[in-house]
Amino acid sequence: MNVLENLNRALDYIEQNLENEIDEYEIARRAYCSVHHFKRMISYLADISLQEYIRRRRLTLAALELQNSAVKVIDIAIKYGYLSPDAFTRAFQIQHGITPAEMRLTNQSLKAYPQMTFRLSIVGGEPMKFRIENKEAFQVIGITNRVTPIEMGEHPGVEQVWSSTDPNTYAELISLNNVEPFGILHVDVGEGGGRRKGDYNYYFSVASTESCPVKFSRLYVPSMTWVVIEVKVPWEPEKWKQIYGEWFPSSGYEQIEGPTIQVGPEIQVGVEKQVFTEEVEVEYWIPVKKVR
């Protein structure tokens, strides 16, 4: 059974259990991967989280039932996992723009989210340069901030670190870099790293064996296997889909829990906005394990 079939078996399980409690570990078992990796795949390929996808599908089916039956709103709410009609009404209005009662009175158009399916797509065949790196544990030292990601552009919490760092602090940070990977490291820790929804911790940092000065924070990175992918910044959204839609399904690896690290670029500290006049080559490190 190939990777696409496994992923679609997992989506079928979700579809068959929208009226029941959905077990994330059963999803992962059917997809033949970890929960963590499946969530990443969904997030980067569909641009929404797994839980958001499930929520949208449930509210789509709920809306169809409200349109085509006389079943009470409370019964439909309970059927799709809502403990109260108020919670159901709020969620329904967020997705469809009207309440369940208004929908039955006006018969307005609704937002229907169909079941997702993974399909093979033959595209331009753009090459992707990568290597597999087995690296012993190391530490990074730097400046950290809690970040809430946005859809486009640099995340404000990241820019806040860059704009508030003075040149002397930056020079001191660079001087601590005495082991690989060399250069400025942009390290994301948490589910929201990259373009995924959810807050995460960002480290503007370097790899170092030195003691951590008081003004900086330290992050321990355990021994891991990494796929190191060469990319260019500013990032194009299509690059995420190439990594998660093309490289991972064909590689025999899956992503594991751990920080993601972008090596470079160096930035201009103390300014509100970074301006890149041309593309800059960087490395993106993703923690992985071999699964086949």
pLDDT tens by residue, 158-200: 999 999 999 999 999 999 999 999 999 999 998 755 555 678 9
For each of the domains in the chain, give its residue range(s) and CATH number, in order of start. 3-106 (1.10.10.60), 130-290 (3.20.80.10)
154 CB burial (10 A radius; 0-12, 13-18, 19+): middle
Which residue positions in the chain have pLDDT lower than 70? Answer: 1, 107-109, 120-127, 152-153, 192-197
Backbone angles phi, psi at 103, to 5 degrees: -60, -40
pLDDT of residue 287: 96
pLDDT tens by residue, 113-140: 888 887 755 455 566 788 999 999 999 9
Average pLDDT, the chain: 87
Q: Name which of 180, 194, 269, 277 is nearest 239 in CA terms.
A: 194
| CB contact at 8 A, 149 and 197 | yes
Q: Which pTM was predicted?
A: 0.76
